[in-house]
Amino acid sequence: MKFLIKNLKRTYIIIVVIFLILIVFRMALPGIVKHYVNKKLNELPGYTGHVDDIDIALIRGAYVIKDLVLKKKTDPPKYPFLKIAHTDLSIQWGALFKGRIASEITVDEPVIHILASEKLSKEPSKESWTKTVKALMPIRINRLQINNGKFAYVDFSKNPDVVLHIDNLQLTATNLANVEKVGSPLPSHVTLTGTSIGKGNLKADMKVNVLKEIPDFDMGAQLTGVNMLALNNFLEANVKFDVERGDLDIFSHLNLKGGEMNGFVKPFIKNLKVLNVKKDIKKKGGILRVVKKAIVGLFAKAVENHKTKKIATVVPIHGNINNPKTSAWASFLGVLKNAFIQALHESISNELKSNEGGHG
């Protein structure tokens, strides 16, 4: 009997010790994970990063990253590459019922800054990014939700400085790992909305295959109701004139297959007024600036939209991003940027021509 009691006491002590060890481990786990995440962020070539805190939710198989900052070593303090207030990474339980192990990520208040002055060809390779993402979430991501995000394009190489941004960004991407097995070459669906500089409304809808080395996709997008006064720095830096009033709508379709990009950008401009002689003569450049504005870009090709009787510029987008000398991402952004600038230039020029010089 004494032997039995002694064994029970020993078993009880062992259980208590194991329980205490588990409690201590659970308390220490967020710190361990935080150290691991910070280590992986700093292993990305050319970047430094850190997170302020980590929460663990063992029951639902998730962890939460709070206040993540990832910046290039050359980034100005005001414009880090990435800031995220709150990220929830968890197992997607719905995928388990379909016989697949996958994860879902919810990102709250992310801010992304793209600095045009940096050479994107020198960005870390896709392998480096993939390695970092897999280290943070080793299970294949099937669903991504972004809430209240901001995307900013910053170019300090221009005069004046250019800052374009999309705020209130909402993005939902589903079936990224093709858990649903839809049997389509573009199995994933992405929707995006946001508010642009100049209070424009952005909407985009995309079918995509992210499982390829260079993802294939088909996307339609529109940006409507942009107050062009907010674009003056961009216009002055890229097409060499600014506006006093005007509203801009942009419609676009883009297809990428096998690295070959095709599509179009079609901007519509209403109520445009470019030139105020008195104000412009006082600016740097004086009368030469006024003359330049008055004659610029009057030879653009245009088509007429018969429903609105407005002149609509259509700029085709063509390009191959399989360039061994630069990254696919750099080539992709370069083609889009050039098409966007060309579309704006031609559209403003056509509107000036139709209004006999823009004197409104």
Taking only the tens place, the pLDDT of each residue in 53-107 is: 888 877 777 888 899 999 888 888 888 989 999 999 888 877 766 767 788 999 9
Give 46-52 contacts, CB < 8 A, sequence gap 24+: 46/72, 46/73, 46/122, 46/123, 46/124, 47/71, 47/72, 47/73, 47/81, 47/124, 48/73
Give the model's pLDDT for residue 275. Answer: 55
- pTM of the full structure: 0.76
Q: How far apart are CA 133 and CA 144, in angstroms?
A: 13
Token pair, residue 20, equals: 């205490």
Q: Sign of the CA dihedral 226, 227, 232, 235?
A: positive
Give the model's pLDDT for residue 145. Answer: 96
- Strands 82-91 and 62-72, by their bridges, are antiparallel
Low-confidence ranges of the chain (pLDDT < 70): 1-31, 96-97, 99, 117-131, 181-182, 275-312, 323-330, 352-360
Give the model's pLDDT for residue 5. Answer: 58
**Smallest Cα–Cα separation from 174: which of 202, 196, 146?**
146
Q: How far apart are CA 188 and CA 203, in angstroms?
A: 17
Decide if 302 contacts 348 (C-beta within 8 A).
no
Give the model's pLDDT for residue 22. Answer: 54
With 0-12 CB in 10 A as exposed, 13-18 as middle and 19+ as buried, what is 15?
exposed
Q: How many CA atoms lie within 13 A of 170 on its CB side?
A: 6
Any alpha helices (H) in the chain, and if so which ranges? 2-42, 93-96, 126-136, 232-238, 277-282, 286-295, 328-354
Q: How far apart are CA 358 and CA 233, in angstroms?
A: 19
Decide if 247 contacts 228 (C-beta within 8 A).
yes
Give the model's pLDDT for residue 162. Answer: 85
CA distances from 219 to 88, 303, 323 (A): 27, 23, 22
